[in-house]
């Protein structure tokens, strides 16, 4: 995309060639046409604006040479100059001797827009084979495509960082801070911008910790902004207006090019940068410690806002808390239903709380069986199963690599270890799911435990002999993680034949 943009700007800035005698022009044109015939490269197609110009000059659209760009042809052959006749305004004129060769070449190679003719192949978004990343384009199409990609970068950064409209517009061209390495595979990326809301006039510089995708999108936007740009995006940003960037982006994705690339159509629901920010806030908030994390990531003005979200909700804070609660409820129902379907498929849960959960799932199965006996012609759907699972789903809390079924506070190991007075919810930061009687492990948790075991073994190998206490601690952690992995594999064995257990 960036290379194509530079090529287009280079064509616009190409200098005129010096004038040359008519015979030399004809020979140069013939040589260029023969080269096209030899390589099979199409002649340059006239742009839509050029076609309108030709019609105004009396061209017949049915004329075989109507779509050939003579201006591009003379530029390519080096026969251009200040003489307007070099653009071959009239057929059958002084260059009539080249016409037969031109018509023959046109019939052999055809015409195509000049840009993006040899685009690299990429995988379709739906996985259905490979296609060129773009079809041939005119210069105006390239500029429009640059706008679409810049809008895509804007959406990625906004949706994954939570930046406000003002903060997005203040991203400078050097907003990418150098990545920080914190160990193998642990890299922290930051973007620099100005915090405007609630600050003095002009704002103050601040940094956002972002995922890799947002960081890369900022780099792409920096190149597409142009060499003289001081910011990634325009300072007057019309994103969601009637003629805004998002409307044009959705039209492109839902159009022919989006279908060719295998992109999923975008629903017609109205979207704005504020919607992206709130969606990210809800996603963060329903995770352990999420409200404080949301405060830090979204740059709330003070910790009082976070306290309002958590303890004394009112107004917008009440709406946010309600949205977070609804999202958490839906997520818990989905995860509980998936765990039940895994149980039905023979993939049993593992962990100290597995026996209790299996007993509950068996009771749900029995209830469904009784309902089937009463109405044998009715096939139960997910909603009826969810109704039976909803009470248990309400007790679910996500651990780091487990599900916590917080049914009885007296059995919660985390509350016992912390001597907590608030017994309304578990303490995720103190969870020891390998020992807590209300914790379960499922197939989705296996990669986390397997990675923890492997990393611990690597660190143990690097510890010196003098660090016996640290080595003993890591050895115990590795043994615990390996025991959890073994338990998950054993629970999966009836359904999978122990496939996972073979890769330890």
CA distances from 174 to 151, 272, 387 (A): 19, 25, 53
* pLDDT greater than 70 at residue 296: no
* pLDDT greater than 70 at residue 17: no
Q: Which has the minimum average pLDDT: 93-102, 172-181, 450-459?
A: 93-102
Which pair of tokens denotes residue 127? 């996985």
* pLDDT (average), residues 107-134: 93
pLDDT score at 503: 43
| Residue 92 CB coordination number (10 Å) | 7
What is the pairing mode between strands 43-44 and 111-112?
parallel
pLDDT score at 288: 60
* pLDDT greater than 90 at residue 177: yes
Contact between residue 25 and residue 81 where contact means Cβ atoms under 8 Å apart: no
CA distances from 31 to 25, 34, 185, 274 (A): 10, 5, 56, 58
Q: Tell me the percentage of the chain whose pLDDT exceeds 70.
A: 80
Q: Which has the minimum average pLDDT: 163-172, 187-196, 253-262, 462-471?
A: 462-471
* pLDDT greater than 80 at residue 447: yes
Higher per-residue confidence, 314 vs 441: 441
Residue 285 binned pLDDT confidence (cut-offs 50, 70, 90)? low
Residue 222 neighbours by CB under 8 Å, 6+ apart = 173, 174, 175, 176, 232
* pLDDT greater than 90 at residue 122: yes
Q: How many residues in the chain?
A: 504
| Residue 234 CB coordination number (10 Å) | 12
* pLDDT (average), residues 200-220: 90
* pLDDT greater than 90 at residue 350: yes
Which pair of tokens denotes residue 213? 């995708």
pLDDT score at 75: 86
Cα pseudo-dihedral 197, 200, 204, 210, rounded to 10: -10
* pLDDT greater than 50 at residue 310: no
* pLDDT (average), residues 314-336: 70
Quote the DSSP letter at residue 176. B
> Considering the chain, what is the average pLDDT of its residues?
81
* pLDDT greater than 60 at residue 12: no
Nearest to 427 by CA among 413, 446, 410, 444: 413
pLDDT score at 42: 95
Q: How far, in Å, CA of 16 to CA of 113, rounded?
A: 21
Residue 500 binned pLDDT confidence (cut-offs 50, 70, 90)? very low
- CB-side exposure of 315: number of CA atoms within 13 Å? 3
Mean pLDDT comparison of 78-82, 152-156, 324-328, highest-scoring range: 152-156
CA distances from 456 to 243, 444, 467, 499 (A): 55, 20, 15, 23
**Structure pTM?**
0.60
Mean pLDDT comparison of 35-49, 56-70, 320-334, highest-scoring range: 35-49
CA distances from 462 to 107, 478, 481 (A): 70, 14, 19
| Residue 115 CB coordination number (10 Å) | 22
Specify burial of residue 221 (Cβ count, 10 A radius: 0-12, 13-18, 19+): buried
Which pair of tokens denotes residue 128? 């259905």
Q: How far, in Å, CA of 37 to CA of 104, rounded?
A: 9
Which pair of tokens denotes residue 289? 């410690």
pLDDT score at 260: 95
* pLDDT (average), residues 218-239: 88
């Amino acid at each position: 995309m960036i290379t194509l943009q530079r090529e287009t700007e280079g064509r616009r800035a190409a200098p005129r060639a010096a004038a040359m005698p008519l015979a030399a022009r004809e020979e140069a044109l013939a040589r260029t046409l023969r080269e096209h015939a030899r390589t099979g490269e199409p002649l340059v197609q006239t742009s839509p604006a050029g076609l309108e110009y030709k019609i105004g000059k009396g061209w017949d659209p049915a004329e075989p040479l109507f779509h050939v760009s003579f201006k591009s042809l003379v530029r390519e052959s080096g026969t251009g100059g200040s003489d307007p006749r070099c653009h071959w305004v009239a057929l059958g004129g002084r260059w009539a001797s080249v016409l037969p060769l031109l018509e023959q070449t046109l019939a052999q190679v055809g015409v195509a827009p000049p840009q993006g003719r040899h685009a690299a192949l990429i995988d379709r978004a739906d996985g259905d084979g490979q296609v060129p990343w773009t079809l041939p384009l005119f210069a105006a199409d390239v500029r429009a495509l640059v706008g679409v990609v810049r809008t895509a970068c804007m959406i990625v950064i906004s949706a994954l960082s939570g930046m406000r409209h003002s903060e997005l517009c203040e991203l400078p061209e050097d907003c990418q801070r150098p990545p920080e390495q914190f160990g193998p595979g642990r890299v922290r990326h930051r973007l620099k911008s100005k915090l405007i809301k609630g600050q003095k006039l002009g704002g103050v510089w601040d940094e956002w910790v972002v995922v890799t995708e947002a960081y890369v999108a900022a780099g792409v936007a920096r190149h597409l902004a142009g060499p003289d740009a001081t910011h990634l995006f325009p300072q007057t940003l019309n994103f969601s207006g009637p003629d805004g960037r998002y409307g044009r982006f959705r039209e492109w994705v839902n159009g022919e090019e989006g279908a060719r690339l295998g992109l999923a159509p975008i629903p017609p629901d109205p979207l704005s940068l504020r919607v992206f920010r709130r969606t990210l806030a809800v996603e963060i908030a329903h995770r352990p410690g999420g409200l404080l994390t949301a405060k830090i990531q979204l740059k709330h003005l003070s910790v009082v806002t976070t306290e309002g979200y958590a303890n004394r909700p009112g107004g917008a804070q009440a709406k946010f808390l309600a949205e977070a609660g609804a999202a958490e409820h839906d997520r818990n129902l989905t995860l509980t239903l998936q765990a039940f379907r895994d149980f039905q498929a023979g993939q049993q849960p593992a962990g100290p709380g597995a026996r209790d959960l299996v007993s509950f799932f068996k009771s749900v199965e029995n209830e469904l069986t009784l309902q089937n006996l009463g109405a044998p012609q009715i096939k139960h759907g997910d909603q009826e199963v969810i109704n039976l699972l909803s009470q248990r789903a309400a007790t679910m809390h996500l651990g780091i690599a487990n599900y916590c079924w917080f049914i009885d506070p007296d059995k919660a190991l985390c509350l016992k270890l912390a001597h907590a007075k608030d017994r309304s919810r578990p303490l995720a930061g103190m969870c020891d799911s390998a020992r807590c009687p209300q914790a379960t492990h499922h197939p989705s948790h296996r990669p986390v435990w397997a990675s923890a075991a492997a990393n611990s073994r690597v660190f143990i190998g690097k510890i010196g002999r003098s660090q016996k206490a640290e080595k003993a601690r890591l050895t115990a952690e590795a043994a615990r993680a390996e025991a959890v992995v073994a338990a998950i594999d054993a629970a999966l064995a009836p359904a999978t034949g122990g496939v996972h257990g073979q890769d330890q």
